[in-house]
Amino acid sequence: MTADARTGKAESSVGQDRVRIDGPLKVTGTAPYAFEQPVENPLYLFPLTSTIAKGKIRRIDAAAARAVSGVVDVLTHENAPRLLAKTDAELYLLQSPDVHYFGEYIGAVVAESQEIARHAAGLVRVEYVAEAEDTAFRPGHPGEYNPKKINTGKPADTQQGQLEEGLAQAVVTVDEVYTTPYEHHNPLEMHSITATWDRERLGGVLGVLGERPRLQIYDASQGVSFVRLMLAPLLGLLPQQIEVISPYVGGAFGAKGIPHAQVMLAVLAAKRLPGRPVKYMLTRQQMFRSVGHRLTTHQRFRLGAAADGTLTAIAHDVSQSSSRLKQFAEQTVNATRHLYAAPNRQTTTRMVPLDIGPATFMRAPGEFPGMFAQETALDELAVRLGMDPIELRLRNKPDTDPESGKPHSSHYLNECLLEGARLFGWQERKAPGERQAGEWLYGMGVAAATYPRQMTVPTKASVRFAGGRYVVSIAAADLGTGAWTALTQIAADALQVSQNEIQLQLGHSDLPFAHLAGGSTGTYNWGSAVMVAAVKFRSQYGQTPAEGDEAEGSAYFPDESKKYVLDAYGAHFAEVKVSRVTGEVRVTRMLGVYDGGRIINPRTANSQFIGGMTMGISAALHEESYLDSRPGYGHVVNSDFAGYHIAANADVPDVQARWIEHPDPMFGPTGAKGIGEIGIVGVPAAIGNAIYNATGKRLRELPFTPDKLV
Ligand code: MOS
């Protein structure tokens, strides 16, 4: 906080447009990323990956690779260090000759240079005993099962009221199937790691306590505290023996949330070469194999409504892909349980077990695919009712949470819809086919967005006065989202000092334990811990602290918040043009209006919102990983940017975000709601609804490629 020179009034940092603290380091190329961290005498790893989807390795002939000058080691399941506990099937790597999916890590070459490692890896001959695999996703698969719980710990299925009666009462119904494809995370920075095994001397008189192993990892990670906790039991180490460092991350959308097999691969390689740091950065192609993906879904969505649009029934029945190696049961049905009122409700989740790699979180897992179905179905219902789709949504706002009956802590969905309609010029919207220019048909669409407050694990922060500055420490992560800056702003206000008196430390596992950057919890959760530590510091040491004064605090959330259901909301508006000649879709304009609680930094928040919308446009128009499910294959065919298209600048000419700012104290003392994921939720539905408005053609399969429109 600084005093305004003119008025003498204190001016807060929170809410001000602040440039990124880490910006200069990043744009000058000097921010050290995991692969670039300067270490002594590094080695480079290139992996061996399976070329079958299921079976066993019979023999690995690495003689030619070992003979290459500069090759230091060839790691395989035969010589890999043993892991002590199978606490995570994905991380339990190289412990047997079994192959679970195509592209699985089955070993690695470690060499003095990246080029040598890659060349030598190509010389390794692997013989397999292949078994019949199944990689073909289809609902109703004989092995389909009920996972009982879905991600975030909620039940897989729910029932309320009488669904069939609710549908029978309805004057208008929708009963359609919506599908979403496999997608792969593609941040600018591929996953990378620099791992070093060493020994550390323990204390005691003359070092009598001896030595113990120490593992240091520079990782591209959304949560250093979790990396260490997850690796420790497998490696038989105490968490304190593992140091995980990740100050800068070149983008992450969930795949860097928890460690995947690549971390263990480098760690096992490094363990055989104590004292030598082993570096591994995935190739872009490897990003499509073993570091997670968005699973594919088949969603039957049913709606029933009275003539005035009042919903009488909602049913959402989902079947989705799963890895036999490790289940990730995406919460695809979650938003359906909360967004609209209807007395008769059903949601179900089924998993189809396949011989594919594990899925993982990808920006708004669950809400993203589920809301594509729900918000498209709502639009279909509006068409059948002859009602404006905004009006239909306004009418079905629930008074309390439809599932639990609890009140909402704050709920500004309708305000977002109305404000968005005004700003976007919704009243200009015409009927399908009515607005054209040359070969182009124009249309507008809308979709709601919601994202829940996720649970967090206990998170701490500390404030220490050192060198005339307030050193604020927390093992948080900045994925490029602006956490460095937002947490500094929060700390400055809580300590009532100016931003440049704060020195923030994050991205190191020795710092106070923090929940990972996931579930859009970062700002309100880490921010809460920082505020508590700062307030404690001030009350203990006053305005003139002494060097070394320190206070620690844990994230605080009001007990009262348990009485409420907590969600962020938004409304997405899209205008598209569709070529009658080629079926090409261009998103000409897009607007998101959000109820995201307090906005800590309008600049970085705006980037989060428009980044989410951009990723949503990308998913709507382009993104799809084609898995070749013919017998003997099982790999992603389009595993590079030539085949896997991602929205580029020309795809997003005009994407804007606005917000309705109502701080919500039930989300914690910052008043901020999560905003990292809501920007993508419902975007493909808004675009698909706009395509319908332009053309009269309803698309229910993502992505909306031209072949589906000609
Ligand atoms: Mo985000 S998909 O919760 O990392």
Residue 220 contacts residue 244 (beta carbons within 8 Å): no
Let me know whether 227 and 206 are in one domain: yes
Residue 141 placed within a domain: no
Residue 134's alpha-carbon distances to 90, 141, 647, in angstroms, are 19, 10, 32
Let me know whether 646 and 568 are in one domain: yes
Angstrom distance (rounded) from CA 59 to CA 55: 12
* Residue 203 exposed, middle or buried by CB count within 10 Å (0-12, 13-18, 19+): exposed
Distance (Å) from CA 678 to ligand 1 centroid: 11
Distance (Å) from CA 255 to ligand 1 centroid: 8
Residue 38 placed within a domain: no
Let me know whether 473 and 357 are in one domain: no
Give residue-wise pLDDT tens across range 46-56. Answer: 999 999 999 99
Residue 379's alpha-carbon distances to 153, 179, 306, 395, in angstroms, are 30, 16, 15, 14
Cα 358–359–365 angle (5° rounding)? 160
Q: How many domains does the chain have?
A: 4
Residues near 54 by beta carbon (within 8 Å), at least 6 away in sequence: 99, 100, 101, 130, 131, 132, 133, 355, 634
Residue 203 contacts residue 218 (beta carbons within 8 Å): no
Residue 647 contacts residue 617 (beta carbons within 8 Å): yes
Question: Whose structure tokens read 């695809």?
Answer: 332
Angstrom distance (rounded) from CA 479 to CA 671: 22
Let me know whether 343 and 367 are in one domain: yes
Give residue-wise pLDDT tens across range 416-473. Answer: 999 999 999 999 999 999 999 999 999 999 999 999 999 899 999 999 999 999 999 9
Angstrom distance (rounded) from CA 692 to CA 701: 13
- Single-letter residue type at 148: K
Q: How confident is the model at residue 83 (pLDDT cuts 50, 70, 90)?
A: very high
Residue 501 placed within a domain: yes
Q: How confident is the model at residue 5 (pLDDT cuts 50, 70, 90)?
A: low
- Single-letter residue type at 325: L
pLDDT at residue number 11: 73
Let me know whether 79 and 175 are in one domain: no
Distance (Å) from CA 568 to ligand 1 centroid: 15
Give residue-wise pLDDT tens across range 266-322. Answer: 999 999 999 999 999 999 999 999 999 999 999 999 999 999 999 999 999 999 999
Distance (Å) from CA 703 to ligand 1 centroid: 21
pLDDT at residue number 4: 53
Let me know whether 472 and 442 are in one domain: no
Mean pLDDT in the chain?
96
Does 561 score more than 70 pLDDT? yes
What number does the ligand 1 atom closest to the CA of 252 have?
4
Let me know whether 466 and 602 are in one domain: no
What number does the ligand 1 atom closest to the CA of 454 have?
3
Give residue-wise pLDDT tens across range 361-376. Answer: 999 999 999 999 999 9
Residue 137: both structure tokens together: 């996703």
pLDDT at residue number 224: 98
Residue 36 placed within a domain: no
pLDDT at residue number 461: 98
Put simply, whether the predicted model's pTM sits higher than 0.95 gets the answer yes
Give residue-wise pLDDT tens across range 486-516. Answer: 999 999 999 999 999 999 999 999 999 999 9
What number does the ligand 1 atom closest to the CA of 257 have?
4
Angstrom distance (rounded) from CA 13 to CA 22: 17
The domain boundary residue, chosen from 288, 309, 344 = 288
Let me know whether 276 and 338 are in one domain: no
Distance (Å) from CA 194 to ligand 1 centroid: 23
CB atoms within 10 A of CB 272: 16
**Up-side HSE of residue 496: CA atoms within 13 Å toward CB?**
11
Distance (Å) from CA 20 to ligand 1 centroid: 21
Let me know whether 531 and 581 are in one domain: no
Query: Catalytic annotation on 677?
Result: yes
What number does the ligand 1 atom closest to the CA of 363 have?
2
Q: What does DSSP say about strands 436-437 and 469-473: parallel, antiparallel, or unpaired? A: unpaired
The CATH number of the domain holding residue 54 is: 3.90.1170.50
pLDDT at residue number 208: 73
Residue 74: both structure tokens together: 């060839």
Q: How confident is the model at residue 476 (pLDDT cuts 50, 70, 90)?
A: very high
Residue 170 contacts residue 277 (beta carbons within 8 Å): no
Residue 679 contacts residue 613 (beta carbons within 8 Å): yes
Distance (Å) from CA 681 to ligand 1 centroid: 13
Residue 118 placed within a domain: yes
Angstrom distance (rounded) from CA 288 to CA 286: 5
CB atoms within 10 A of CB 7: 8
Q: How confident is the model at residue 202 (pLDDT cuts 50, 70, 90)?
A: confident
Residue 162 placed within a domain: yes
What integer is the mean pLDDT of 33-45?
97
The CATH number of the domain holding residue 227 is: 3.30.365.10
- From the candidates 189, 419, 575, 677, give the one annotated as an active-site residue: 677
Angstrom distance (rounded) from CA 480 to CA 248: 8
pLDDT at residue number 127: 98
What number does the ligand 1 atom closest to the CA of 361 have?
2
Percent of the chain with pLDDT over 90: 96
Let me know whether 569 and 437 are in one domain: yes
- Single-letter residue type at 556: Y
Give residue-wise pLDDT tens across range 309-334. Answer: 999 999 999 999 999 999 999 999 99
Supply the DSSP symbol for 75.
Answer: E
Let me know whether 523 and 614 are in one domain: no
Helix 683-695 crosses helix 602-621 at what angle (to 10 degrees)?
50
Give residue-wise pLDDT tens across range 178-201. Answer: 999 999 999 999 999 999 999 988
Closest Cα to residue 424, out of 569, 587, 583, 567? 587
Let me know whether 484 and 349 are in one domain: no
The domain boundary residue, chosen from 494, 524, 554 = 554
* 3 state DSSP class of 37: coil
Q: How confident is the model at residue 203 (pLDDT cuts 50, 70, 90)?
A: confident
What integer is the mean pLDDT of 168-183?
98
What integer is the mean pLDDT of 382-402?
98
What number does the ligand 1 atom closest to the CA of 222 have?
4
Task: With a threshold of 0.85, tell me whether the complex ipTM lies above it.
Answer: yes
Give residue-wise pLDDT tens across range 532-556. Answer: 999 999 999 999 999 999 999 999 9
Q: Is the dihedral of CA 332, 335, 338, 342 positive or negative?
A: negative
The domain boundary residue, chosen from 521, 554, 587 = 554
Rg (CA), the chain: 26
Closest Cα to residue 494, out of 663, 664, 670, 661? 670
Distance (Å) from CA 13 to ligand 1 centroid: 27
Residue 447 placed within a domain: yes
* Residue 531 exposed, middle or buried by CB count within 10 Å (0-12, 13-18, 19+): buried
Residue 156 contacts residue 329 (beta carbons within 8 Å): yes
- Residue nearest ligand 1's atom 4 by CA: 254
pLDDT at residue number 209: 79
> In terms of residue numbers, what domain contains 247?
192-288
**Measuring from each residue's beta carbon to the nearest atom of ligand 1, which residues come in under 6 Å?**
222, 253-254, 257, 361-363, 365, 518-519
pLDDT at residue number 207: 67
Residue 144 placed within a domain: no
Angstrom distance (rounded) from CA 513 to CA 4: 36
